[in-house]
Amino acid sequence: MSTLAGETGANDEAGGRSMYLIGGRRVMVSDLLEAGLIEAGAKLRFKRVRIGATYHATVTDRGRIRLEPAGEEFRSPSRAAMVAAGMRAVDGWRAWWVVSQDRLLDGVRQELLDRAITRVADRQSEDIDRQRVHDRLRQARSRAEDHTPERITVRELLALWGAKERGDQVSQIEADLANHGLMTSPGFRAVTLDTLVSLITPPDEPEETAAEGPPEVDDLPGVEDEGGSDLNVRLTVGNLSPLEGVESVHPNSTLKEAITKMLLNDYSQLAVLNGPRNVRGALTWRSIAQAMHQKPDATVADAIDPHVELVAYDRDLFEVLPTLQQREFVFVLDESQAVKGIVTTADVAQRYGEMATPFFQVGELDQTLRWVLNRAVDLPTIQRLCNRKITGFDQLSMGDYQRVLENKEVWEKLGWPLDRPTFISRLEEIRFVRNKVMHFHPDPVPEDAVDKLRRFNKMLHQYRDPA
């Protein structure tokens, strides 16, 4: 028997599992089936009004969506809708209509989330935090549907989940957004932390469709499971350039105006725009000098370098490096194809410096501690304190250093005039910094963390020789 809104057929175990979903992964059709919110054999309908086409499907007893009459089965509503309609992208939760309930599959999903929140009687702090996120995303969804989407910086968005950077919580954040039928524009992974993004619902019916028949599997985003595209560890062009617009001049502007803007802002290049999406080229000091050499009364139009590169904000930075090496800069397009940023070779050098500095600081710390212990302690002592099989000092980890140096006898062998508990406490902080560095997140390591590494290394250099 089906369990619809207002009924209490879902048991406590299902309610608890649903609560996990709110802060864990994306909701699946099988979760709706397990909670009794939809039944096996339920008929689904996807109607594309614009082209007058309707597609049909059935929910199987395994929580899959079986297309009719083809018989293909999918765990993901979006994948099922994309294959059925031959579309490159579509939000299946807002496409499939549950015929017997006269509502979208998305509506059933929202009931599951609402029920999970209200059924948890013993409110733990984690549950309260999840409820707060749930309520905030419901409000954002309402605003998105009213075409007044909430705009928020990526930094503020992460803070809703108590995160300061796009680390291990990114998949959870994307799952929570997706469960509430939301996405960010531009994508929050591919921009800077201070870029403003809009919380929107996916387009009801994208214009782009496959030319002939359903798209090939390799062309479809993600994998069959919802959330299969969560893994995304790229460094993008937008991670370097805040999409706040670029300084520019009109083709009819004077060179005096252009030069003044470049001097005031310490720019080496300036966009020449006829509108946000109409790029005529760029001015550089070289192009200005060449134009004025040939024509003393040269104008902006005379000095334009038309050979500029335009790249999307979510383009992989490594793909753009050859162009940057040759051209020294690229203009960055936002999701509406407007020129909203610029990335230069100097920006790339700065970012790689931000990424490399903590990496090499950690490496220096690791080698120094290994060198110190190798001179002060024998291998059997190290093996005993690490409580695991180690055949050499080169196998020591940051946790091993901490365990060894916590030992009073080892510490006394070093002969350092330092307080052991305070040293170990800072080493524990360094261990967490090291883990963040080695996970290669796209956001720079905070400067205070880098300073801790520098100061720790400086102190080690002062006291590294054993007494």
Q: Report how far residue 190's alpha carbon sits from residue 2's, in angstroms, rounded to the nearest whole number.
A: 42
Task: Give CA 334 to chain center in angstroms.
Answer: 16
Query: DSSP letter string over 274-300?
Result: SSTT-EEEEEEHHHHHHHHHH-TT--H
Residues 3, 14 contacting (CB under 8 angstroms): no
Q: Tell the residue number behind the tokens 């080698």, with chain if given.
A: 367
What pLDDT is recorded for position 213?
42
Residue (of 48, 21, 173) closest to 111 by Cα position: 21
Q: Which helix (H) or strand (E) holds 353?
A: helix 345-376
94 DSSP 8-state letter: G
Region of 7 on the Ramachandran plot (φ > 0 left; ψ -120 to 50 alpha; else beta): beta
Q: Specify the 3-state DSSP secondary structure of 409.
A: helix
User: Where in the chain are the domains?
Assistant: 1-120, 122-205, 239-337, 348-463
| Residues 173/167, Cβ–Cβ less than 8 Å | no
Contact 17, 34 (CB under 8 A): yes
CA separation, residue 42 to residues 105, 228, 375 (Å)? 11, 25, 71
The two tokens of residue 82 are: 């994309």
Q: Could you tell me which CATH number the domain at 239-337 has? A: 3.10.580.10
CB-based contacts of 382: which residues, under 8 Å, 6+ apart?
A: 373, 390, 393, 396, 400, 404
Question: Residue 205's Cα: distance from chain center in Å?
Answer: 25
b/e for 275-291, b at 16 or more Cβ within 10 A?
A: ebeebbbbbbeebbeeb
Strands (E), 75-190: 96-98, 103-104, 151-153, 183-185
Contact between 368 and 459 (Cβ < 8 Å):
no
Q: Tell how strand 248-249 and strand 269-273 pair up.
A: parallel
Pairing mode, strands 248-249 and 183-185 = unpaired
CB 385 within 8 A of CB 399: no
Q: What is the pLDDT of residue 26?
A: 87
Closest alpha carbon to 192 in 308, 21, 334 = 334
Q: What dihedral do alpha carbons 54, 58, 63, 66 form, nearest 10°?
A: -70
CB 49 within 8 Å of CB 62: no
The alpha carbon dihedral of 230, 233, 235, 241 has a sign of: positive
Q: How far apart are CA 176 and CA 193, in angstroms?
A: 19
Q: What is the pTM of this model?
A: 0.74
Going along 21-71, which residue ranges are E strands? Answer: 43-48, 53-59, 65-68
Rounded Cα–Cα distance for residues 240 and 345 (Å): 11
In this prediction, residue 148 carries a pLDDT of 95
Which residue is associated with the tokens 């720019």?
Answer: 267
Residue 185 forms beta bridges with which residues?
198
Which of 90, 6, 85, 13 shows the shortest CA–CA distance to 53? 85
- Taking only the tens of pLDDT, the chain with its 467 residues reads 333 333 444 444 444 444 445 556 889 999 999 989 999 999 999 999 889 999 999 999 999 999 999 889 999 999 999 999 998 888 999 999 999 999 999 999 999 988 877 765 455 556 667 788 888 999 999 999 999 999 999 999 999 998 888 877 888 899 899 999 999 999 999 999 999 999 999 876 554 443 334 443 333 333 344 544 444 557 899 999 888 889 999 999 999 999 999 999 999 999 999 988 999 999 999 999 999 999 988 999 999 999 999 999 999 999 999 999 998 999 999 999 999 999 999 999 988 888 888 889 999 999 999 999 998 899 999 998 987 788 888 899 888 999 999 999 999 999 899 999 999 999 999 988 887 777 666 677 778 888 999 999 999 988 876 44
